[in-house]
Amino acid sequence: MSDESRAIMKVLGGETLTPPPIWLMRQAGRYLPEYRETRAKAGSFLDLCYSPDYAVEVTLQPIRRFGFDAAILFSDILVVPDALKRNVRFTEGHGPEMDPIDEAGIRALKGKDVLAHLAPVFETLRRLRVDLPGKTTLLGFCGAPWTVATYMIAGHGTPDQAPARLFAYRHPEAFEHLLMLLAEISADYLVAQIDAGADAVQIFDSWAGVLGGPEFEAFAVKPVARIITAVKERRPAARIIAFAKGAGLMLKDYRQKTGADAIGLDWTVPLPLAVELQKDGPVQGNLDPMRVVAGGRALLEGADDILQHLGHGPLIFNLGHGITPQADPQHVAALVERVRGGRATDGKKD
C-alpha cells in the first residue's frame, strides 16, 4: 500500500479528512495491561526499547485494541544520549537518569557509532512495516536537541530545566555545539528510521515551553530547522511533525521557521489560535490527557470541541501530550468511537 493511501499521510500532505485520523502520544504504555505484562518480561526499560521482539509487540498492542490510524515506534528520546555513552538508566519511581555532562564532556562527544548502537531500533521498524495493517501509518521519532540536552546537562529531568538554561547562559559556545551535534545525529537517526520503513517522523520538544523568546529561537527553532532541512535534503518526500510543547504564541511562525509539514499542539493552545495555525497547514492535537482519565462528559465534550473547531481543515486528532498511566482503556475506546463519528458511550463504568 502506498503512503498516499494512509489517512495520516494524506493529512500530512494537506488534505482534510472527515472523520480525521487519530493516534495518541504514548499510546503503547502503562495504561494497557498487555503492555505491563510485556514490560515485566523484558527486564529494564532500555532492554524493552532495544529488543525488537518486545518493541514490536508493544507497538502493535494499541493498534490491535483500538485500530489507531498510526503506530508510533516504541522507543525513547534518550536512546540518543545512551548511544553517546552517557550511561542512561531508568529507575522505577525516579524517571530517566544519566551522567551529567560538562564542557569537557561535550567536547569529547563522538557521534560516529550512534547508528550502529541503534541498530535494534531500525530492526523494529523493519518488522513493523511488515506486521502492521496496510492502512496504518508507521511513525518514527526523535527528541528535539533542546529537550535531549536538558537531560544531558542535569542528568535527570527537572521542573523548569534550570540547569540547562543556566549552562546555556554561562557556556553559550559549548551549549550551541551540543545542540548542533544533537541536530546532526538526530537527522541521521530520522533518515535511518525512514529508510527502515517509517512513513513519517515526529520531533518531540517536550521542554520548549520553559524558554523565553530569544532562547526559543536559538535553542528550539534553530536546531529543529537544521534537522528538518538535513532530512529533507536527503529524503525530499519525508513528512515531519514538530511538537513544541508549551510554546504558545511562539507557534505562530514555528512551522515556517522549522520547515515542519505539521505542528503538534499541546492542550494549552487555545482553539481559536489553533484555527489560525491550521490555515498554514496540518495541525495535530490537542485534547487534554486528563480528559481521558476523567472520561464521561469531560472526555466527549473536549473531543467535540476540537472537532468543531479544527475538523474542517487538515487535522490529525491526538492528545496535547502523552496518555497517562491512569487512563482507562475504556475511555480511550470511547474517544476513538467519538472521533470516528460513532455513537460513543461516555466511557464511564457503572
Catalytic residue among 30, 65, 126, 234: 30
| Grid cell locating 49 | 526499547
Contact 116, 45 (CB under 8 A): no
Catalytic residue among 6, 26, 127, 255: 26
Instruction: For residue 132, report the phi and psi dihedrals to the nearest 5 degrees.
Output: -75, 150
First and final C-alpha spacing in the chain: 42
Contact 170, 161 (CB under 8 A): no
Give Rg (Cα) of the chain.
19
| CA 153/CA 157 separation, integer angstroms | 10
User: Residue 297, Cα to own-chain centre: how many angstroms?
Assistant: 27
DSSP state of 5: G
DSSP state of 323: P
The DSSP annotation for 125-174 comes to: HHHHHHHS-TTSEEEEEEE-HHHHHHHHHHSB--SS-HHHHHHHHH-HHH
Between CA 136 and CA 145, with CA 221 as vertex, the angle to 5 degrees is 70
Instruction: For residue 107, report the phi and psi dihedrals to the nearest 5 degrees.
Output: -65, -30
| CA 127/CA 53 separation, integer angstroms | 9
Catalytic residue among 76, 99, 328, 346: 76
Among this protein's residues, is 50 annotated catalytic?
no
Among this protein's residues, is 76 annotated catalytic?
yes
Catalytic residue among 31, 35, 39, 165: 39
CB contact set of 236 (below 8 Å; sequence gap of 6+): none
Contact 283, 310 (CB under 8 A): yes
Catalytic residue among 31, 50, 151, 254: 151
Residues forming the active site: 26, 30, 39, 76, 151
